[in-house]
Amino acid sequence: MEFSNRLKGLPAQFFATLVQKVTAAYAEGRDVINLGQGNPDQPTPSHIVKALQQSSAEPNTHKYSPFRGTTELKQAAADFYKREYNVDLDPESEVAVLFGTKIGLVELPLALMNDKELLLLPDPGYPDYLSGVGLANVRHEVMPLLRENNFLPDYDKLSSKQLEEAKLLYLNYPNNPTGATASKSFFEETVKLGKEHSIGIVHDFAYGAIGFDGNKPVSFMEADGAKDIGIELYTLSKTYNMAGWRVGFAVGNREIIEAINLLQDHLFVSIFPAVQHAAAIALSDDQACVDALVSLYEGRRNVLIAECERIGWEVAAPKGSFFAWLPVPKGFTSEVFADFLLEKADVAVAAGNGFGSFGEGYIRIGLLVDEERIKEAVKRIEKLNIFS
């Protein structure tokens, strides 16, 4: 059976290719230190697991969930936003339950855009944003994220044609892959842009809990008027180490939330109710586990930066997320350097060009192994005498 043109038009899955390379190295018996992954290495906190175990034994969770998610989870999401960001949300009309936020990010062009309409995407950015472009048969153009602008898009560089034609604009702070963060004033500028040009704003807040040096990441929803023009997507994958649980939510503009819900009415019957109950517990209970996780990542970040500086690798410390965005030494492209490190040092990293053309010249490192393995990885790189 021949694939549809829609499937044929999808981009290559960047992370699948990376996993294949690392898996092949493992199969050869090599001790690879995998810094290329984005998969949290810590277990889900025990109180969340216990909530799932208890709920899954209840017969009422064995039935279909309400199509648009449980009232408990939507209320917990609204309460979470009020507690953490002082943002008021109506749980029924301003919260949409998602099978992880990747689903929402890929669904949105299908729900809101017509063929060939324009989507503005950050570059470098999360590669799976392009999956939504391919499935919805829309156009996309990129907003470069450059070091000299603190890896924020420069809206003054958008053309009048782009501003006139764009239907949606995606952002992601703390940022994957750069580790940059955004201020409330930047989000207020974004709201103004969206309103002036009727562009819907979509903020991917996947790393919303992970900010360093005592600085809590800002929610797009904190900007005045954010709900008038956009939404924010929040996943439990990173905040609570629940990546495999596939649960998240979108909040904000009622029309966009309704579009998500309407599309999902035709695709899903929501998430296993016991998972939704556990997610509600995660959002509502004591957040000490989150504080401990952020401290763990900050410690790993500090070790990585100190070790890189020790060997003469000039790097900037990420302000958030669990990634570091490191410049490639002269004489290498991103992909060649990533392959070189895997072949010669058994250190896996993600090539920056996999996140877009403006990712060329960088590699992404995940802070998802312990401090000793980070030190060992840099020692292996040091032995290659690249930075001496």
Q: What is the DSSP letter of 304?
A: H
3-state SS, residue 351: strand
Is the pTM value of this prediction over 0.85?
yes
For residues 221 and 154, what is the distance between their CA atoms, to the nearest angstrom?
A: 20
Domains and CATH numbers, the chain: 5-44+288-382 (3.90.1150.10), 62-284 (3.40.640.10)
17-32 tens-digit pLDDT: 888 888 998 899 999 9
Identify which of 222, 239, 242, 240 has the alpha carbon closest to the alpha carbon of residue 230.
222
pLDDT (mean) for 149-155: 98
Strand duo 200-204 + 230-235: pairing: parallel
For residues 110 and 104, what is the distance between their CA atoms, to the nearest angstrom?
A: 10
Q: Are 36 and 349 in contact (CB under 8 A)?
A: yes
pLDDT (mean) for 164-185: 98
Identify which of 184, 176, 168 has the alpha carbon closest to the alpha carbon of residue 151.
176
Identify the residue with better confidence: 19 or 81: 81
Identify which of 161, 165, 142, 144 has the alpha carbon closest to the alpha carbon of residue 153.
144
For residues 115 and 109, what is the distance between their CA atoms, to the nearest angstrom?
A: 9
For residues 50 and 41, what is the distance between their CA atoms, to the nearest angstrom?
A: 19
Question: How would you class 17 by CB atoms within 10 Å of its CB: exposed for 0-12, middle for 13-18, buried for 19 or more?
Answer: exposed
**Residue with tokens 């030494």, as numbered in its chain:** 329
Give the containing element (helix H, strand E) for 119.
strand 118-123
Share of the chain above pLDDT 70, in %: 100
186-244 tens-digit pLDDT: 999 999 999 999 999 999 999 999 999 999 999 999 999 999 999 999 999 999 999 99
pLDDT at residue 37 in the model? 87
H helix runs in the chain, sequence order:
5-8, 14-27, 46-56, 71-85, 101-112, 129-136, 160-165, 184-197, 226-229, 236-239, 254-267, 273-284, 288-310, 334-345, 371-382
